[in-house]
Amino acid sequence: MQIIAHGIDVVEIDRIHRDINAPGSVWISAVYSAEERGLADSGPLRYRFFAGRFAGKEAIAKALGTGFTGAITWQGIEILRSENGAPRVKLCGDALLQANGLGISNWLISITYSSQLAFASAIALGEPTI
């Protein structure tokens, strides 16, 4: 198994807080699946959780080489939890097709935080198709 691609992203936690709490906002349901929303921390850590997942989705889209263009959607990239609590990537739809086309079969993802920022790094692993 080889490293095929890498993506990294950083996001301000306050930006996510504002997006979630904007009057009439449907942002949270547009960006995160029901399963992701169900995993969210409560209280103030809720915004940190969503900021980390947002950065993770951006990092994965960058590793796919597409960003969020065409049919690659926010809902097509999920960041769930493995049994030990670590984040894990689940792709569907065109995001999965793009990954398969590149030979990506596994992901390593890391999410970390400062008091104001959420950072994510995604490494795509597999056997290159080129």
Structural domains of the chain, count = 1
Q: What is the CATH number of the domain that holds 52?
A: 3.90.470.20
The pLDDT assigned to 129 comes to 79
How are beta strands 87-91 and 2-12 bridged, if at all? unpaired
The pLDDT assigned to 28 comes to 92
pLDDT band with cut points at 50, 70 and 90 for residue 79: very high
**pLDDT tens-place string over residues 1-49:** 899 999 999 999 999 999 999 998 899 999 999 999 999 888 889 999 9
How far, in Å, CA of 97 to CA of 75, rounded? 14
**Per-residue b or e along 19-38, where b marks 16 or more CB atoms closer than 10 Å to that residue's CB:** beeeeeeebbeebbbeebee
Domain extent, residue 53, equals: 2-126
The pLDDT assigned to 25 comes to 87
How far, in Å, CA of 58 to CA of 22, rounded? 21
Where do we find the tokens 């065409």?
70
Q: How long, in residues, is the chain?
A: 130
The predicted model gives 91-103 an average pLDDT of 95
**pTM recorded for the entire structure:** 0.93
